[in-house]
Amino acid sequence: MEFIKGIKEKDVLEISDILTGDWFGKEVVLRGFVHTVRDMGEISFVVLRKYEGLVQCVIDSKVKGLEDKTLKEGMTIEVKGIAATEDRAPNGFEVRLTDIRVLSEPAKDSTMPLPISKWKLNTSLETKLSLRPIALRNVRERAIFKIQEGLVRGFRDFMFQNHFTEVRTPKIVAGNAEGGANVFKLEYFGKKAFLAQSPQFYKQTMVGIYDRVFEAAPVFRAEKHNTTRHLNEYTSLDFEMGYIDGFEDIMDMEAAMLTYTFEFLKKEYAKELKLLDVKLPAADNIPAVRFDEAKQLVAEKYDRKIKNPYDLEPEEEILIGKYFKEEHNSDFVFVTHYPSKKRPFYAMDDPADNKFTLSFDLLFKGMEVTTGGQRIHNYEEQVDKMVKRGMDPEEFTNYLMIFKHGMPPHGGLGIGLERLTMKLLDEQNVRETTLFPRDVSRLEP
Amino acid sequence: MEFIKGIKEKDVLEISDILTGDWFGKEVVLRGFVHTVRDMGEISFVVLRKYEGLVQCVIDSKVKGLEDKTLKEGMTIEVKGIAATEDRAPNGFEVRLTDIRVLSEPAKDSTMPLPISKWKLNTSLETKLSLRPIALRNVRERAIFKIQEGLVRGFRDFMFQNHFTEVRTPKIVAGNAEGGANVFKLEYFGKKAFLAQSPQFYKQTMVGIYDRVFEAAPVFRAEKHNTTRHLNEYTSLDFEMGYIDGFEDIMDMEAAMLTYTFEFLKKEYAKELKLLDVKLPAADNIPAVRFDEAKQLVAEKYDRKIKNPYDLEPEEEILIGKYFKEEHNSDFVFVTHYPSKKRPFYAMDDPADNKFTLSFDLLFKGMEVTTGGQRIHNYEEQVDKMVKRGMDPEEFTNYLMIFKHGMPPHGGLGIGLERLTMKLLDEQNVRETTLFPRDVSRLEP
């Protein structure tokens, strides 16, 4: 009988092992994809693609293992050879091969449908998305999602440091937290169910248990809009915190989180930031402006008429972003005190003027990336607001239970991860920063 | 205009602040839930519930702020007073109050539906689940999900340390990765869609990009079984790794991950482990036994007939667990080489005998908590196996694309988080370790 004890030592190395410097002049073994093959007559160059980057390998006629094989893009191989510094090679070194072992081969007669070894793919977004599993093999394309990984890691690390508890709330739900028609319906053993538009009810519930909670998980919106900024499934970075003194506490927490996360990216994802030429913005001095004031400011500065005093059009968001970039050199702006009629039933109205709420959006380069605010915590107040909106509190017994038995003053927010990535990378379409986007016409791959 | 700069310093403390020792004899401010109130005549004791635990507060007649209020369970309050060591109090200290400020109140005339301040709730699972938002306020109940948080954190930390990339794959999908009828259907803008039963296709795809990937995310199974171990939505801890030498590499990685994660729990979740009296198992010497051998061993030792040579009944899993506990003192056992007909089309058959696969389950105290194995990586081989199973490769164009253009030898696994937690905590029903379980009859809360 065999016993499994843990990871076995292997002599296969990674790029970072070789970059320690200990391996130059020595024999190394590496595994990776054949990224490119360049035949120069006497010798050829094979570039290996690994998760950390590219490795130039030099092959001459004495190499063993290629007697009955021809190297081809898309093969995976194991190579053995001597590592040597080489300024012109990626990562400053190359490997002069003595042995090659083919680990796997692509389909017979297959040809790469995209020039993935090029610096930029230069294909349409449509083509890139249809061939996503292959397009992501491009070194720049895959760097996008390493940065996205870093955003989530930074968010989580910061949350843990600030004593938030991570929760996992259900995605199949009985009720419709955010209201409206943009909810996916599901047949659930003869009952009507929905896909969660947000973890709203559950994260509030969990504040009654852990004081502060967060979740980074998928949410689902049956939006029929086919725009450059809408997705039907996206990742929401949510947090919810109890014992707040006001909704400013939530904005303070977000500013601190973004500042921490950008520092984290700078430290841990320097390679990818450089590859994509990303400039990290400052988030430690974010202007906060009232919704009505913001509308007024851009109307005056950019000579615009205010059409609807209760809503922000996407064009107005862009102008508010422009205004605060020009006037305060900030890529971010908090727009506060959204009108009550535009916020869900759980939003706390401003006691000073109940046409407005103690809520905010965060705009990043002119696009909403966060919605947040203080929530109602008093049972009677919540029931009243529901009734005034024509909702039946009986349908929300499970949600109202938490207020009935006591909830601290609390609030929170949700950040759209893909939009945050999009604006950070100055992309024009949120699909560029979504691994496998779902939209009205796209369900595959 | 206001500017948001980050978290503002507040004089409100947490339990861990006071436990540093710097605050004894000094004035402290705390916020929390009123957990219990005990009126002793001259003085009363109020226990505050905070995320880190309980705080005993002593009130005498001189306390300010209670002139027109009576403290009640479910209120949230801010208290000010002098911290003092007190051996008989939770965490070894109490606060002698000078001021109380009520932050929020439960509904008028409400009474707690469960004795949440008791050590054990002693109510039926059914009641606990129906009142989950309140039941979780019990200190022991909520400790379960801190340990679950720790399992996920340990898993992720280990994955990052072993150069896995975290990915976020879509949950709304066009195809049915695991086969069978237990898939939720969805109306998607006039198209037929499903909820992902696993991230299988996508995590394999991402191995072509990042070599090693992982995801901790919800999966959905339309299981009609209403058992103590099935859920219709659960969290799957998935990883998938390229360039493996065999499926043993995957078991080695899992054993190392579990060992790391249990150490992590011991370090970071000692309080909760003690509270729930959890004994952490060893995972650094896990027996691995072939499927057919395992059946034989328990048939012999426990005098059982083998009814179906191609399947493991739950009772057999229990006996295999028992066998390896008795014979090798191991809570874990890898059962390897499952029959091909019981494994999905992407499983790699054993070249030595293609009735079996290069796959495994991990049993923990007699229950399957992991399914994994090596996958087919060759395009022609995958198409052949599909055709032999009566599947139409045309329906899997997007999946087959990755093999067509080359994939390294690879494999991976999926761990059921709630089951892992259940067995670790010696619970009898997986719903005990699921925050808001979804089953055939339960869609709320």
Give the model confidence (pLDDT) of A331-380 as tens digits: 999 999 999 999 999 999 999 999 999 999 999 999 999 999 999 999 99
Residues A98 and A234 placed together within one structural domain of the fold: no
Q: Could you tell me if the ipTM is greater than 0.95?
A: yes
- Hunting for tokens 């004899």 — which residue is that? B25
Domain-terminating residue out of B57, B87, B104 = B104
Could you give the CA distance from residue B82 to residue B96 in angstroms, rounded to a whole number? 5
pLDDT digits (tens, 9 = 90+) for A26-46: 999 999 999 999 999 899 999
* Residue found by looking up tokens 């720049």 in the block: A140
- Token pair 């937290």 is found at A177
Place of tokens 């893009």: A73
Q: Residue B1, Cβ neighbours under 10 Å: how many? A: 12
Listed in sequence order, the DSSP H helices in A186-276 are: 200-210, 248-268, 270-275
Compute φ and ψ for B357, nearest 5 degrees. Answer: -120, 160
3-class state of residue A79 by DSSP: strand
B156 and B86 within one domain: no
Question: What is the number of alpha carbons within 13 Å of residue B49 lying toward its C-beta?
Answer: 28
Q: How far is B87 from chain A (nearest CA, A)?
A: 25
- Minimum distance, in Å, between the CA of residue A376 and any CA atom of chain B: 11
Contact state of B378 with A4 under an 8 Å Cβ cutoff: no
In the prediction, which pLDDT does A180 show? 73
Indicate the burial class of B53 (C-beta count within 10 angstroms; 0-12, 13-18, 19 or more): middle
Q: Is residue B113 part of a domain?
A: no
Tell me which chain B residue has its CA closest to the CA of residue A328: B3
Instruction: Please indicate, yes or no, if residue B132 is contained in any of the structural domains.
Output: no
Which of B82, B104, B126 is a domain's end point?
Answer: B104
What residues of chain A lie within 8 A of the CB of B405, using their CB?
Answer: 74, 106-107, 110, 112-113, 134
- Do B321 and B363 touch, CB atoms closer than 8 A? yes
Chain B hits for A152, Cβ within 8 Å? 166, 168
Specify which residues A373 forms β-bridges with: A359, A412
**Structural domain includes residue B57:** yes
Query: Which residues of chain A make contact with B1, given a CB cutoff of 8 A?
Result: 287-289
- Residues of chain B contacting A217 with CB distance shorter than 8 Å: 217-218
Instruction: Work out the angle at residue B230's Cα, subtended by the Cα atoms of residues B441 and B276, and round it to the nearest 5 degrees.
Output: 105
Nearest alpha-carbon partner for B319 in B297, B339, B337, B338: B297
| A171 vs B contacts (CB less than 8 Å) | 171, 218, 220, 233
- Check if the beta carbon of residue A113 is closer than 8 Å to that of residue A134: yes
CA–CA distance, A218 with A15 (Å, rounded to integer): 33
Mean pLDDT across the stretch A325-331? Answer: 98
- Output the 3-class SS for B398-418: HHHHHHHCCCCCEEEEEEEHH
Question: Which residue of chain B comes nearest to A201, CA vs CA?
Answer: B445
Tokens 């109490």, located at residue: B94
Q: Are A341 and A384 in the same domain?
A: yes
The answer to whether residues A98 and A167 belong to one domain is no
pLDDT at A175 over 90: no
Q: B248 vs chain A: nearest CA distance in angstroms?
A: 8
Q: Are A104 and B172 within 8 A, CB to CB?
A: no
Q: Do B186 and A163 touch (CB under 8 A)?
A: no
Taking an 8 Å cut-off on Cβ atoms, the answer to whether B7 and A256 are in contact is yes
If asked whether residues B350 and B421 sit together in one domain, one would say yes
Q: Where are the alpha helices (DSSP H) in A162-247?
A: 200-210
Name the residue with tokens 């002793």.
B40
Least Cα separation, residue A401 to chain B (angstroms): 7
Q: Do B76 and A165 make contact, defined as CB atoms within 8 angstroms?
A: no
* Total number of domains constituting chain A: 2
Q: How many CB atoms lie within 10 A of CB B247?
A: 26
CA distance B174 to chain A (A): 6
- Strands, DSSP E only, in B151-254? 165-166, 172-173, 185-188, 191-195, 212-220, 233-242
The answer to whether residue A132 is domain-embedded is: no
Co-location of B54 and B181 in the same domain? no
Looking at the structure, tell me whether residues A92 and A169 fall in a common domain: no
Distances (CA, A) of A301 to A295, A304, A320: 10, 8, 10
Alpha-carbon torsion A127, A223, A370, A218, what sign?
Answer: negative
| A contact test, residue of B11, B171, B191, B209 with most A CBs within 10 A | B209
Taking CA–CA distances from B192, the nearest residue in chain A reads A443
Domain shared by A234 and A88, yes or no: no
Q: At a CB cut-off of 8 Å and minimum separation 6, what does A253 contact?
A: A162, A239, A241, B7
Looking at the partner chain, which of A104, A162, A255 has a beta carbon nearest the beta carbon of B5? A255
Q: Find the residue in B nearest to A376 (Cα).
A: B104
The amino acid at B45: F
pLDDT, residue B316, reads 95
Flag residues of chain B having pLDDT under 50: none
Please give the average per-residue pLDDT across A144-154, as a whole number: 98
Distance from the first to the final alpha carbon of chain A: 42
Claim to verify: residue B87 and residue B154 sit in the same structural domain: no
Q: Which residue of B has its CA nearest to A111?
A: B405
Nearest to B370, CA basis, from B199, B224, B250: B250
Record: contact A255-B4, CB cut-off 8 A: yes
Q: Please list every residue in chain A whose beta carbon sits closer than 8 Å to the beta carbon of residue B103.
A: 243, 408-409
Q: Residue A177's pLDDT is what?
A: 67
Q: Which residues, listed in sequence order, are joined to residue B332 by a DSSP beta bridge?
A: B364
- Check residue A331 and give left, alpha or beta (phi > 0: left; psi -120 to 50: alpha): alpha
Tell me the nearest-neighbour CA distance from A131 into chain B, angstroms: 8
d(CA B340, CA B343): 5
> Are B84 and B161 found together in one domain?
no
Q: How many A×B Cβ pairs under 8 Å?
A: 342
DSSP, res B64 = B
Q: Which structure tokens are listed for B186?
A: 């969805």
Chain A residue with the nearest C-alpha to that of B160: A153
B411 inside domain: yes
Residue A179 has pLDDT above 80, yes or no: no
Q: Is residue A259 part of a domain?
A: yes
Q: Which residues of A touch B245 (CB under 8 A)?
A: 10
Chain A residue closest to B362 (CA)?
A4
CA distance B34 to A406: 9
Q: A74 pLDDT band (50/70/90 cuts)?
A: very high
Percent of chain A with pLDDT over 90: 93
Q: Do B438 and A172 touch (CB under 8 A)?
A: yes
- Is there a contact between A233 and B172 if contact means CB atoms under 8 Å apart? yes
Among chain B residues, CA nearest to A379: B107
Nearest to A1 among B75, B188, B287 (CB): B287
| Domain assignment of residue B72, given as a range | 12-104
Q: Do B404 and A50 touch (CB under 8 A)?
A: no
Interface mutation target, options A209, A253, A297, A400, chain B, most CBs of B under 10 Å: A209
Look at B289 and A1 and tell me if their CB atoms are within 8 Å: yes
- List of chain B residues whose C-beta atoms are within 8 Å of the C-beta of residue A34: 406
B153 plus B35 within the same structural domain: no
Looking at the structure, do residues B203 and B270 belong to the same domain, yes or no?
A: yes
C-alpha radius of gyration, chain B, whole number? 27
Domain end call among B77, B104, B131: B104
Select the residue from B4, B141, B166, B394 to test the A interface by mutation, using most A Cβ atoms within 10 A. Answer: B4
Q: Assess if residue B111 is contained within a domain.
A: no
**A49: domain CATH number?**
2.40.50.140
From the list B110, B233, B406, which residue is nearest A33 (CB)?
A: B406
Overall average pLDDT of the A426-443 stretch? 97
Q: Of B283, B276, B278, whose CA–CA distance to B261 is shortest?
A: B283
Top pLDDT among A167 and A192 is at A167
How high is the pLDDT of residue B1? 84
**Which of A18, A49, A4 minimizes the C-alpha distance to A31?**
A49
- The per-residue pLDDT for B304 is 92
Whether residue A416 is predicted with pLDDT greater than 90 in this model: the reply is: yes
Residue A30 lies in a domain: yes
Q: Specify the CATH number for the domain of residue A335.
A: 3.30.930.10
pTM of the model: 0.98
Cβ–Cβ below 8 Å for A6 and B224: no
A51, B165: Cβ pair inside 8 Å? yes
On the CB side of B397, CA atoms within 13 Å amount to 7
